[in-house]
Amino acid sequence: NAGVTQTPKFQVLKTGQSMTLQCAQDMNHNSMYWYRQDPGMGLRLIYYSASEGTTDKGEVPNGYNVSRLNKREFSLRLESAAPSQTSVYFCAIRNNEQFFGPGTRLTVL
């Protein structure tokens, strides 16, 4: 997981609260991705960013917003958290071979 950091590592929210998950990379790659991982569902793409200033929806974008602040950082925002968003969230980088961050474990009560 070298080169990709995610904060926070753990978070508990109440339904309706908002929060932003942060991802930063020091590998100078253009492409960054947000996935969620759920038991029995595998990893699913939420949003991705091909380059600074661009973002695109993935398979499960509803309830999320993203921001590509600069080449290093790609944030994921939950405006009004729901229990269905309880999951482990992973940030990934690069095009050809993807590398993943350590993840954020989010629980929404």
Partner 1 sequence: KQEVTQIPAALSVPEGENLVLNCSFTDSAIYNLQWFRQDPGKGLTSLLLIQSSQREQTSGRLNASLDKSSGRSTLYIAASQPGDSATYLCAVRKGSGNTPLVFGKGTRLSVIA
Query: By the criterion CB under 8 A, which residues form the site for partner 1?
Result: 1, 31, 33, 40-45, 48, 50, 56, 58-59, 90, 92, 95-103, 105
Q: Are the CB atoms for 45 and 34 separated by under 8 Å?
A: yes
Nearer to partner 1, 35 or 85 (CB): 35
CB of 74 to partner 1, least distance (A): 13
**d(C-alpha 107, C-alpha 109), whole Å:** 6
Nearer to partner 1, 28 or 96 (CB): 96
How many other CB atoms sit within 10 Å of the CB of residue 94? 17
CB of 108 to partner 1, least distance (A): 19
**d(C-alpha 9, C-alpha 69), whole Å:** 20
How many other CB atoms sit within 10 Å of the CB of residue 92? 21
Nearer to partner 1, 15 or 105 (CB): 105
CB of 79 to partner 1, least distance (A): 23
Tell me which residue of 99, 82, 81 sits closest to 23, measured CA to CA. Answer: 99
CB of 80 to partner 1, least distance (A): 26
